[in-house]
Amino acid sequence: MCACKKNLPNLGFSRTLQIMMTKVLFVCMGNICRSPSAEGVFRHLVNDAGLSAVVGIDSAGTHSFHLGEAPDARAAAAARKRGYEMTSREARQVTADDFRDFDLILAMDWENLSAMQQQCPKAYQHKLMLLMRFANDFEEATVPDPYYGGPEGFGKVLDYLEDACQGVLELVRKRATQYQAA
């Protein structure tokens, strides 16, 4: 067995599928609003596209404020209204293994991108990006934090996430097509 297969984490998939799988991690500060919302939106898009067997999806926070907590009730309610599910998860913090294990690590804003850049080994820095770089309809560079605002902020966040996650979906679809052709 080649060394590249030996060091793969066991994510519950066959080793061959792990090689072909694109793993995406969404990151915000506390992992209770934006990143679990992005995870829910993207999971929905991936399932609808029939790519759930080749796309791994998770979310995390850069800070430990809400470890083990469920998503913010306002974020979950806004997501549910649009048909997204995110209630079966608990907040977690980004780990050193995440930098190795995920192919795309998508930050919601500059502060969280910067925090990850300080932690991330140089060999994996290329995986770190702002999620909004994949947006087509919105020109904003970041997804605003709705935590201290009203319910309308959670709707605006979902607007941004739907747009940007559609762009991420196109990238993972291309990767899946390339793997199938190889």
Mean pLDDT of 103-130: 98
Evaluate if residue 181 carries a pLDDT over 80: no
Which residues lie below 8 Å from residue 166, measured CB to CB, with a gap of 6+? 45, 134, 136
Residue 17 in this model has a pLDDT that exceeds 90: no
CA dihedral 104, 45, 40, 174 (to 10 degrees): -10
When pLDDT is cut at 50, 70 and 90, the band that residue 16 belongs to is very low
* CATH of 18-177 given 3.40.47.10, 3.40.50.2300, 1.10.472.50, 3.10.300.10: 3.40.50.2300
Q: 107: helix, coil or strand?
A: strand
Mean pLDDT of the residues in the chain = 89
What does each C-alpha distance from 17 to 10, 144, 173, 182 come to in angstroms? 11, 35, 15, 14
| pLDDT value of residue 145 | 97
Nearest alpha-carbon partner for 43 in 79, 11, 69: 79
Q: Which residues are catalytic?
A: 28, 34, 145
Q: What pLDDT, in 10s, does the model give residues 147-169?
A: 999 889 999 999 999 999 999 99
Instruction: Convert the pLDDT of each residue in 44-70 to its tens digit.
Output: 999 999 999 999 999 999 999 999 999
- pLDDT reported for residue 180: 63
pTM: 0.88
